[in-house]
Structure 1
Amino acid sequence: MPQLIRLVARRMPADREAVAAALCDVRRKAWTGKLMDLANRFGESWVRRADAEAAAASIATPEPDEDQLRHALRTVIAARLRAAGPDAQAALDSISAELLDATGHLLPADRHATLAQQVAWAFGLDRTETASFVAAAIRAEDRRRAELRGAEQAARAKRRDEVARLRAWEKSLVGIEGIPGLLGCTPKEALRWAGAGLLPVARRQRDRGGRERWEFDPAEIIPLKRDSAEWRRAEQEAAPTRKGEAPQKVSLTRVGNAAIARVAALDRYAAHFATARAMQRRIVLVTGPTNSGKSHTALDRLSTSESGYALAPLRLLAHEFRDALESRGVEASLSTGEERIHVPGSRHLAATVEMCPLRNPVDVAIVDEAQLLHDRDRGAAWTAAIMGVPAREVFVLGAPECIPMVERIAQLCGDSVEKVSLERKGPLRAAAAPVGIGDLKAGDALIAFSRRDVLDFRAELVRRGRRVAVIYGALSPEVRRAEAARFRNGEADIVVATDAIGMGLNLPIRRIVFSALKKFDGEGRRDLNAQEVKQIGGRAGRFGRFEEGIVAVLAGAGSPDFVRHLLNAPPAPPAELRPQVQPDADIVQAVAAEIGSDSLFGVLARIKRAVLRLDDPNYRLADMTQAAAIASAIDGVGLALMDRWTYALCPVDERDNGIQRLARWAVDHAAGRPVVPPAAGRLPDPMQASGEELQRGEKVHKRLVAWRWLSLRFPAAYPDMERAEAETMRLDHWIEDVLRQQRRGRTALAG
């Protein structure tokens, strides 16, 4: 009643219609809740809260009955279903995929039939057409469910078989003491032949005392028995003929499975890159803090070369490298996981690190952000790029922390190294006192370590009347670039960002302010380390714009002394100097041939267990957990092994049911059905978009990234690239429009 009185007072002088309108406004929240309850009661999981709110807003009578509420909701839902696709079938596919993406589960069969009926009604099909459409939808859904069940069952069966095979293989292995019985030799001969590399070691283990135990596969040892007599004769011929004379060196050719030799190349990983090893390469290691001109130095050299590559960690930075080359008068093509731009006649290429060409020699290459060699998820890509890029002159750019690892890689490759150390162009200092949120000024960047914190700080600053830009990892490169432009041209005073700001995006930042001195790194919360504080804090003090950069901490977030200490700390010695490595298509094929299996899960399990021992002195195996999970999910799909390996490399978010989505796409691919690109459907007005709706749009955008990645590799199965690119662009514009809203009070991102 108090709310009703206030609303009526605003409408004074008020007549019956004004009072009725005010009463409707008061009751809309309750109607929204009732509509959501009705949708849940009928199992209509495709109804969003925004739909219920829109339906409640359309009701003009103060006391609607349940039928009127349902009709209002059906009208709103019909509009959204019509916007989901050009025809009824496309809309049904789009909404079904959206629900599966959101929940990870298929709709129950009866609910799918209900959705099909609502889609038919939305598109105005008559009774006969509706019955035919629903029946066809039920048949298609039943067939797809059967295919998915079959694929899941086949995958589980393959996994059981491969686990059993692996266990049986491990049990069959024998130690060095078992070799004499297999070859008919003495224990001393077995030790000598194993030490000479004549006996292929299947697995190396450490016992409790720390001693290395070699294990051998009898199936590979027994065929070598015919060669043992020749080995023994060669040893006798090389034995000393006079007392005190040193034995001659035995020259024996290792006899073994050629596939095993290829597989074992993981412990000789540098040799895997034949083109690079055939060249006389020189590595120029350029290190220095942020804002020291590393990229500028290397790009100047690349632009004067006849041919070359510029390899960046992000698609956004690959675009910036391409722009930088073009500004120097050099045309360059572009290659990223989801995008190709070919410039006819160009002999330069800007690319993401994972897209590094390995077979076409060039004069100069740049590999940026080499400190990511230590990154748990992507470090192996930097190992492959630095070891394998076929360039006569390789500029490796990074923070000083990368120096020991790059030197180790150069040593393994036999490359010479020239080290160049650059100093920061302007001073960087820690602020003496914490900064209150009300004391943030134009040119400041506030750093948070989660998307939620970024948006919460944004809302608070907008409430205080500040103009704010935001940058965080879930945003596409295009949106990040647009937000950076708003800050750069003065449309926004303050930028609120995650540590994504620490890589690329040269911004005119006067002061970096940390809102927290701890972050979650995927395993737990920990203190920021020196390299992170320097990388992010170094974004302050744009040369030529500000005389110095200032790094501060938000009031209540920690001590300025902590920041000061880390800014002045010397580079920390790396905990691990062995570069990370991971298998490629050749290695996967070799292992599959060795174990005689078509199971990708089995191949990856064998690689993890046996190909590279844990204490290998030169290399360590990268984390393959996600690739193994994808392999396990799609092994039952009727695709070739190498096609499944491609799927295993696709960038997906496990937290967003990414693996289940890949499995569903792979089933369609194997069945010969085109995979429809994800779609966001009708997007709300940016002025009214809630935080939940913004996050939904970001998730659809990430799904489109995965779809486009697969489309470049399987264009026949993922044929509608034009539609996917149009939807990606639509989402980019909408997300940017949402972020541009600077209303006070209830911001566009609240909710």
Structure 2
Amino acid sequence: MTSDSPARTAVDAAIAATGLTVETRELPKLERTVARALSPGQDHVDEATFRAALCAIRRKPWGSRLMDLTRRKGQVWVTRADTEAAAATVDDPQPDDDRLLRALAPVIHARLRATAATPDAVLETIRADLFDGTGRVLSPAGTEDLSRAIAVAFDLAPEGGFVESVRRTADVRKQEQDSIEQAARTRRREEVRRLREWEASLVPFAEVPRLLHCSQNEALRWIAENRLPVARRVPQKNGTERWEFDPRELIALRTQLPHWRGDGQAPGAPLVPDAGTRKVGNAVIARVAALDRYAAHFKTARALKRRITLVTGPTNSGKSHTALDALARAESGMALAPLRLLAHEFREALTARGVPTSLATGEERIDIPGSRHLAATVEMCPLHNPVDVAVIDEAQMLTDPDRGAAWTAAIMGAPARHLFVLGAPDCIPMVRRIAELCGDPLDEVHLERKGPLVTAPDPVRLQDLRPHDALIAFSRREVLDLRAALLARGRRVAVVYGALSPEVRRAEAQRFNSGAADILIATDAIGMGLNLTIRRVIFTALRKFDGTQTRDLNAQEVKQIGGRAGRYGKHEQGIVAVLAGAGSSSFVRTMLAAPPAELTDLRPQVQPDADIIQAVAAEIGSESLFGVLARIRRAVLRRDDPNYRLANMEQAFAIATALEGVTGLSLAQRWVYAMCPVDDRDNGIQRLVHWAADHAAGRPVVPPGPGRLPPADRAERVELERAEKRHKRLVAWRWLSLRFPDTYLAREDAEDATARLNDWIEDVLRQQSSRARENPRAARARS
């Protein structure tokens, strides 16, 4: 605006008339705001219009000022959305801090009332949201301050019974938490001391002949025959190993020497020390855990005359259809899937074939009376009820560092006379090895893709996307950024990523398949399951962070994800492409043509179960899960074990470590908590400790609520993320409620809260897509 423009003239006159102070930096924005209020030829505004214009340009700074004021008061539970809503109600152009805080109070009270039905539930929801979002735990003073605000919101006395009860509980919980942390440190130190004392007692190989009264050559021969247990093998810088031995184990074996020197016992047969000797050595622990003889652990499966059929082929080759037909014809059977969503799909497929089928996943059960078929997630494989046919899908997961051990246990332990194992060709060597370890005959069937899969010659621009295209990103943030960009262009979009519940993922897939959404944006979560009518898969990146490092996609990932293109019966061929600027099409072409990767280690991953944990605990004389897992990690499987390797147990170990200070739980109960599916990026382990402390103290653990859910058509990304985190809390709670029903009460409330969150998240994704189609300019402004 120029100095003699009508708007500037109107602003100068209004400032003079009202006496209000206006900063120089505010003038350009104020003039533009006043200009929009002027009629043609007019150069004057009334006082009310001017004051409203001045308030409009100052509301954002007021919101920031309120955030600063509340943080100084320790009110970390006040959100930016709260302060912005409060600033929008202020009609005084020059409010002081008290005026701003008075505007904030009713906004806070309304938000608190909408968060949950009861004051207690509001308090727990807000504390959980803070913990998930920032890892922040409210201090007793902060909790008391929040409780007062909640009391006022619910028309309770600000210093009455609710606030006093919260104050007392906060003090007790703080003392309890301090006690847990102190006890955990003490117990961990004790277990580490025990382990170090044992390690300090070990002797080098040079001491073995003296302790056994034998020659050096005899000792070497008996070690080679697996008669003398090497307690610890310490790698040296020159590539060799230093062998260390437990002298108590060696002394206990002296009575065996005459037999070893000439009784004809089969070489290599492990010998157990005398029963009267205290057996705390690593070799003894390994024998107790029996992970080096893991296949024998599954007694029901080993008692059956099993036959394994391995069905391999690329995506869209009909592997599941082949196996499900055999399963449907069987009198009894089970179908094991990698995801809860796919377990539901297996159940629906069997039901459609007229086969009543029950369901078992980590967090839910559906029991069909009289059913002799079960659909389940792999971790829920029943090991003691023989069936005629079992199907295990996605066997390439055997190499997954986090869940591979579950596939090992399922393939080795599924009590089925005929076991169908389905997977990509990459899994063939590992399944062959497992069949060999089990002594089961193996048939192999290889299927070819039903329609051609080709690589697009050129990268695809965002503006050139067409219906039935799927964009593949590798993080939730990238998926939502792409979604915002496409909504701003007026495209109808569906999304699939890991943080969404199976119900919402399925609903989004249905929107895409039905044509209600043109474009699908997904993470590699679509690599397993979900029947999608994709014509063209477009990678938005050719590198991903795998939890450890950022690396190029490997051939199996490109094939698994790219193979989703060209659904048989829907599209003549599948096309795999790269988004412009993301990389070269030749990389995708090379990966699709690559042979199955050669596995450098064919030893299947294994991990202990509850029985093994109890056996090791009894052997070392400890009820500490931390101590048991520490010994298992160090002792149970040698690094050079020819048959098996210990799975990654870092999260279980982290949970065990955190639970060490919680008294009142048995070892078996601690192991259940250690297996609970939580995400430590959202402070899931600390939350487990809080729940376990309540459990140990005999207090019920109430289910998390859905929290405040704003209207779906006005939800922002931060609110969507908060709802997803609440859903994850409910998943963990429901998982535990099936195992500890007397402590995790009100399961129906948890089911209702889960359904509300699923419906709301689905609504947000659907309505925002529809709104963008109707008003792309508004969508562009929101993004």
TM range (shorter): over 0.9
Task: Say if 2:226 and 2:270, in contact at 8 Å, map to a contact too.
Answer: no
Q: Give the TM-score of the pair, scaled to structure 2.
A: 0.90
2:582 matches 1:557: yes
Give the aligned partner of residue 288 of structure 1.
Answer: 313
Which residue, out of 598, 604, 625, partners 1:573?
598
3-state SS in 2 of match to 1:508 = coil
Residue 244 of structure 1 corresponds to none
Matches within 5 A, 1:221-620: 221-225=250-254, 227-228=255-256, 231-232=257-258, 235-236=261-262, 238=263, 254-256=271-273, 260=285, 262-620=287-645
Q: What is the distance in 2 between the residues matched to 1:580 and 1:51?
A: 50
Q: Tell me, yes or no, if the aligned pair for 1:203 and 1:611 is still in contact at 8 Å.
A: no
Flag structure 1 segments of 5+ consecutive residues without an equivalent. 239-246
| Residue pair 1:267, 1:619 contacting (<8 A) in 2 also | yes
Counterparts of 1:300 and 1:221, CA distance in 2: 57
Q: Which residue of 145, 159, 178 corresponds with 2:207?
A: 178
Structure 1: distance between partners of 2:322 and 2:52: 67
Task: Give 1:329 deviation, angstroms.
Answer: 0.7
Shift of residue 204 of structure 1? 4.2
Query: 2:245 & 2:391 partners in 1: Cα distance?
Result: 43
Deviations along 1:326-371, one digit per CA (max 9) or x if unpaired, are: 1111111111111111111111111111111111111111111111
Q: Is the 8 A contact 1:104 1:660 kept in 2?
A: no
Aligned with 2:422: secondary structure? strand
Secondary structure of 2:544's match?
Answer: strand
2:411 is aligned with what amino acid? Answer: I
Q: Give the Cα separation in 2 of the matches to 1:343 and 1:300.
A: 20
Matched, 1:116 2:117: no
SS in 2 for 1:285: strand
How many angstroms does 1:583 deviate by? 1.1
Q: What TM-score does the superposition give when structure 1 sets the normalisation length?
A: 0.93
Give SS of 1:470's match: strand
Assess, with a 3 A threshold, how the Cα gap between structure 1 residues 145 and 361 changes in structure 2: closer, same or farther: same
Q: Would the aligned equivalents of 2:289 and 2:616 in 1 still touch at CA under 8 Å?
A: no
Query: Higher mean Cα deviation, 160-169 or 262-271?
Result: 262-271
Q: Paired residue for 2:171? A: 142
- Matched with 1:70 is 101
Cα distance in 2 for partners of 1:9, 1:683 equals 38
Instruction: Name 2:698's counterpart in structure 1.
Output: 672
For the Cα contact (< 8 Å) 2:487–2:780, is it kept in 1?
no
The answer as to 2:728 corresponding to 1:711 is no
Matched residues in 2 for 1:499 and 1:693: separation?
24
Output the amino acid matched with 2:595. P
Q: Which residue matches 1:735?
A: 761
What is the CA–CA distance in structure 2 between the aligned matches of 1:298 and 1:217, rounded to whole Å? 51
* Cα distance in 1, alignment partners of residues 268 and 521 from structure 2: 66
1:610 CA displacement: 1.1
SS in 1 for 2:661: coil
Secondary structure of the 2:315 match is coil
What displacement does 1:409 show? 0.8
Query: Match of 1:157?
Result: 186
Which amino acid is the alignment partner of residue 338 of structure 1?
E
1:660 corresponds in structure 2 to 686
Instruction: In structure 2, give the amino acid aligned to 1:118.
Output: A
User: Percent same amino acid at aligned positions?
Assistant: 64
Range moving further from structure 2, 146-155 or 175-184? 175-184
Number of residues paired by the alignment? Answer: 737
Find the aligned partners of 2:660 and 2:749 in 1 and give their Cα distance: 29
Q: Report SS of the residue matched to 2:155.
A: coil
**Alpha-carbon distance in structure 1 between the residues aligned to 2:563 and 2:485:** 26
Q: Does 1:107 align with 2:138?
A: yes
Distance 2:289 2:558 in 1: 40
Which whole-Å CA distance do the structure 2 matches of 1:175 and 1:612 have between them? Answer: 20
More displaced stretch, 202-211 vs 602-611? 202-211
Counterpart code for 1:487:
F
**2:675 partner amino acid:** L
Change (3 A) 1:108 1:748: farther
CA distance in 1, matches of 2:626, 2:456: 52
Secondary structure of 1:727's match? helix
Give the secondary structure class of the aligned counterpart of 2:359.
strand
Residues 225 and 268, structure 2, Cα contact 8 Å, conserved in 1:
no
For residues 488 and 345 of structure 2, the distance between their equivalents in structure 1, rounded to whole angstroms, comes to: 34
Classify the secondary structure of the residue corresponding to 2:467.
Answer: coil
> Contact 1:689–1:749 (CA<8 Å) still a contact in 2?
no
Deviation at 1:429, TM superposition (A): 0.3
Shift of 1:293: 0.4
Q: For the residues of structure 1 that align with 2:381 and 2:205, how far apart are their CA atoms?
A: 42
Query: Contact 1:333–1:350 at 8 Å: present in 2 too?
Result: yes
Between stretches 172-181 and 606-615, larger displacement belongs to: 172-181
* Counterparts of 1:179 and 1:659, CA distance in 2: 44
Give the Cα separation in 2 of the matches to 1:401 and 1:248.
41
Letter paired with 1:121: V
Compared CA separation, residues 7 and 271, structure 1 to 2 (3 A): same
Aligned to 2:719: 693
Q: Structure 1 CA distance, aligned partners of 2:339 and 2:225?
A: 45
Distance 2:28 2:554 in 1: 54
Q: Is the partner of 1:357 in helix, strand or coil?
A: coil
My pick for the range that moved more, 192-201 or 541-550, is 192-201
Deviation at 1:590, TM superposition (A): 1.4
Work out which of the residue numbers 655, 663, 667 in structure 2 matches 1:630. 655
CA contact (8 A) 1:262 1:590 kept: no
Question: How many Å apart are 1:199 and its aligned residue?
Answer: 4.3
Alpha-carbon distance in 2 for matches of 1:388, 1:251: 26
Q: Secondary structure at the match of 1:687?
A: helix
Write the deviation string for residues 608-663 of structure 1: whole angstroms up to 9, x where unpaired. 11110111111111111111111111111011111111111111111111111111
Measured in 2, the distance between the counterparts of 1:737 and 1:534 equals 33
- Measured in 2, the distance between the counterparts of 1:568 and 1:101 equals 43
- Classify 1:749/1:595 alpha carbon distance in 2 versus 1 (closer, same or farther; 3 Å): farther
Q: Deviations over 1:53-79 (max 9, x none)?
A: 222233344444433321221112112
* CA deviation string 1:198-221 (max 9, x = no partner): 544433455556556554323334
1:233 and 1:482 map into 2 onto residues whose CA distance is 69
- Native 8 Å contact 2:285 2:635 kept in 1: no
1:30 matched to 2:47: no
SS at match of 1:732: helix
Aligned to 1:242: none
Most deviating of 720-729 and 433-442: 720-729
**Partner letter of residue 755 of structure 2?**
M
Would the aligned equivalents of 2:494 and 2:508 in 1 still touch at CA under 8 Å?
A: yes
- Secondary structure of the structure 2 residue equivalent to 1:58: coil
Q: Distance in 1 between matches of 2:346 and 2:268?
A: 51
1:662 partner SS: helix
| Cα distance in 2, alignment partners of residues 721 and 665 from structure 1 | 15
One-letter amino acid matched to 2:272: V
- How far apart are 1:80 and its partner, in Å? 2.2
